[in-house]
Every structure is written in C-alpha cells, then in structure tokens.
Amino acid sequence: MSAEEDVREGLSAKQKHLPAYLFYDERGGQLFTQITTLPEYYLTRAEREIFTTQQDEIAELLTADAKQLSVLELGAGSAEKSQILLKALAKRCALTFYPVDVDSAALQVCCTNLAQQPSLRVSPMVMQNQEALSVFQRVSGPKAIFFIGSSIGNLSDDEARSLLQSVRASLGSGGFLLLGADQTKDIQTLLRAYDDAQGVTAQFNLNILSHINQRFGANFDLSRFAHRAIWNESARAIEMHLVSQQTQQVDLTTLGFSIRLQAGETIHTESCAKYDERRITHLLSSAGLTRHATLQDTKKQFAVYLARA
C-alpha cells in the first residue's frame, strides 16, 4: 500500500491509526535521534552496551571459519550501532555490508562513517525491506541479516512472522539473523521510556501530524492533540496515541477527504511490542529459524538474539 492509501485507510477506521513509518520525515529523524539519548530511553544504550562488550563473541559466532561474509542490515539508517560489530567482523574476514533504508541521506552518513575501513566494502540499498531481501537472496557465500533496535516491535506477531519468513528465504540455509528486541519489564519503566520528562517523545509523536500536513495538505492543529503512552497487556506492547482535546474536523485536502474526531478520541500511531525468550523463540521457529545464542546487557533490559536458518 502507498502512504496515501495507508493514511486514508487508517484515518477512516473505527479506531483511527497511522503507520509508524510516517514519523520519519527530516524532523522526525532528528527527534528520534534525540530520544535515543534520553535518560528514560534505555533501549539504545543497552543494545550498544551488548555490541560493545560482546563484539568478539558475536563476531566469532557469525564468522566461524569463513573467509568472507555478506551482511544486510534492515532499516540501517546511519548504522551508528552496527558499525561496532562491522569493525569486529572486518578484522576476521572480508566483509561486504549492504545497509538498507528508504532514507538516502542516512545511508550517505553510513557510507561516510564506514569509509576507509580496511577489509570492508559498503553497498548501500535505497529501497524497502522486502525488495532488499529478495536482492540479497541472490548474493552467494556466507550471509547474515541484522534487524536491530527492536524495530521488530512495530510489527504485530503476524507481520513479524511474515518478515522473518522473508529473512529466512533471503538467507538460504546456514545464514544468521541478528535480532535486537526490547524485553518485557515493569510497566513504569516502559511507560517512562515512551513518555519522557522533557517531552521529546511527545514532540516526536505530534510530528507525525505536521508531516501529514506538509505531505498531504492537511490542516491538523497540533495544539488540539496530546501525547499518550499506554501499556496494552494482551498485545504485550506499549502503544502511542494522539488524543483529540476537543471535538474537531480535519481536512486532508490532497487526499480529498475530511475526518471528525470526538473529544478524547485517539489516533493510534505506534505499537512497540516487548518480548521474552518464549515469544521470540516462537516467532523464530514459525519462520524456520532456530535460536542459537541470546546476549543481554548487564541490567537485562534488552536482548540480542542470534538465530540460524
């Protein structure tokens, strides 16, 4: 579905919703980068700690005795965290890195960061994940796919399973998946990570509306919406919503339709699922992948799984 269709379908539904990828215009990308440095947002720091302190173990498992390795990273962005692992891998074998992202500017930064690394060739792919996975399927030799940062959490379990099935097909047999997933923990810690004291996450959430205003000639008034983060127990996910502060009408001129919102009605903008080993093992095995190793930070807030096709 196109972004236009996603917006039309989502805002016409009974529970209004928007796809989380629409957070990421230029300002949205900047706000997310700011989120990753917030005291409450432990995810990025915990995953970086795992990569930093356990890079040798991970590199050892991924390379075994291989003389060369091809690594594809889904949603790589600037590859700020994965470069820790890429440098460790490039010490052991000839490495080709395929960072995938729809944001070509972020991939530029990635290429600049990794230039002049001996034994590392970078081949950026400006495209959607699905397309990249089918291109990577034709790459021969030892392979690994990185899907880190708990990006999997934006997907429902059905969507996650189907993405992991494509990963499995792209890897062929013997390839590795490196999967970063946030762990279930006390609800207060989770809620604070998505509703920080400085209000950066609130700005990030509201920015989806100004992105839609710019892109689809809509007239959302951001002052008439409030950020809300809730825990959905049955989905085991944090949900972000935008709460309409009054009864209002919004016109989406380019899309040729208008919506009405009641006071207190919400637009669901993101789900961030949280995992334990059982949920991950189940998702992996339903996609033909076997969990090989689990790595955690010292506080056990986050986990990196290594799975094998």
Residues that bind ligand AVJ (CB under 6 A): 35, 43, 149-151, 153-154, 194, 201, 204, 270, 272
Of 69 and 84, CB closest to ligand AVJ? 84
For the CB of residue 249, give the shortest distance to ligand AVJ in the complex, in Å. 28
For the CB of residue 20, give the shortest distance to ligand AVJ in the complex, in Å. 7
For the CB of residue 63, give the shortest distance to ligand AVJ in the complex, in Å. 27
Of 70 and 129, CB closest to ligand AVJ? 129
Query: Closest residue (Cβ) to ligand AVJ?
Result: 272
Of 71 and 240, CB closest to ligand AVJ? 240
Per-residue 3-state assignment (H helix, E strand, C coil) for the chain: CCHHHHHHHHHHCCCEECCHHHHCCHHHHHHHHHHCCCCCCHHHHHHHHHHHHCHHHHHHHHHCCCCEEEEEECCCCCCCCHHHHHHHHHCCCEEEEEEEECCHHHHHHHHHHHCCCCCEEECCEECCHHHHHHHHHCCCCCEEEEECCCHHHHCCHHHHHHHHHHHHHHHCCCCEEEEEEEECCCHHHHHHHCCCCCCHHHHHHHHHHHHHHHHHCECCCHHHEEEEEEEECCCCEEEEEEEECCCEEEEECCCCEEEEECCCCEEEEEEEECECHHHHHHHHHHCCCEEEEEEECCCCCEEEEEEEC
For the CB of residue 253, give the shortest distance to ligand AVJ in the complex, in Å. 28
Of 55 and 154, CB closest to ligand AVJ? 154
For the CB of residue 181, give the shortest distance to ligand AVJ in the complex, in Å. 10
Of 194 and 275, CB closest to ligand AVJ? 194
